[in-house]
Amino acid sequence: MTRFCLVRHGQTAWNLEGRYQGQSDIPLNAAGLEQARELARTLQNVRFDAVYSSDLVRALETANTIIALHDHLQVHVDPRLREINQGEWEGVQIEEIRAHYAHLWQARQVDPVNLRPPGGETVGEVFQRMHSALDEIARLFQGGNVLVVSHGLALATILCFTQGFPIGQAYQHIPDNSVPNWISWQSPAQPG
């Protein structure tokens, strides 16, 4: 069993503006940097065996701020921990998406797991890559504590999975910025 401390990156300007960030590489704003520093102080006495982060700058800034108080750690970057690719919806405010893509927005309400924004990926695909990444990390750090810094929807798929909610409810379970969410993860069986 591995204990994961799942953290969504700190706040960005696009969070405040209600824009879908997806895989756009948006940095933390001043509030997001302060959130990361506060979380670093909260976690400074927790012993982590490893730290993994998405390769997007907002996650990396958060992870690097946290490990600044942990001398023995370095950040391992894994692109599978990225946010959902929102395709044409990236950088667009939610109200605009609802207005200009009304049929797709309605379809997402019916089948949130399999709806693909134009040029993007599905929630189901995000879950599969996140699950694969956590399985691999858990195999490497069985019995350990691992910090994972990722993104709202990506983490929500894992939180739904571990808490027994349908993956399709991920949009309702997006964690707050820079708040730790601890989960236990059963390592997959080792290949024989």
pLDDT digits (tens, 9 = 90+) for 58-85: 999 999 999 998 888 999 999 999 999 9
pLDDT score for 70: 84
Mean predicted confidence (pLDDT) in 37-46:
96
Q: What's the pLDDT tens digit per position in 147-179?
A: 999 999 999 999 999 999 999 999 999 999 999
The residue ranges of every structural domain in the chain are: 2-185
pLDDT higher than 70, residue 94: yes
Let me know: does 16 contact 29? Beta carbons within 8 Å: yes
Domain 2-185, CATH number (from 2.130.10.10, 3.40.50.1240, 3.30.300.90, 3.10.20.600): 3.40.50.1240
- Does the global pTM surpass 0.85? yes
Interatomic CA distance for residues 27 and 56, integer angstroms: 8
Only one residue has tokens 């924004």, namely: 117
Return all residues near 10 (Cβ < 8 A) that are at least 6 apart. Answer: 28, 31, 32, 33, 34, 35, 36, 39, 58, 61, 62, 65, 177, 178
Note if 83 is an active site residue.
yes
Which of 61, 83, 90, 121 is catalytic? The answer is 83
Catalytic one among 9, 61, 121, 173? 9
Could you give the CA distance from residue 82 to residue 102 in angstroms, rounded to a whole number? Answer: 26
Q: What per-residue confidence (pLDDT) applies to 189? A: 53
- State the pairing for strand pair 180-185/2-8: antiparallel
pLDDT band at residue 191 under the 50/70/90 scheme: very low
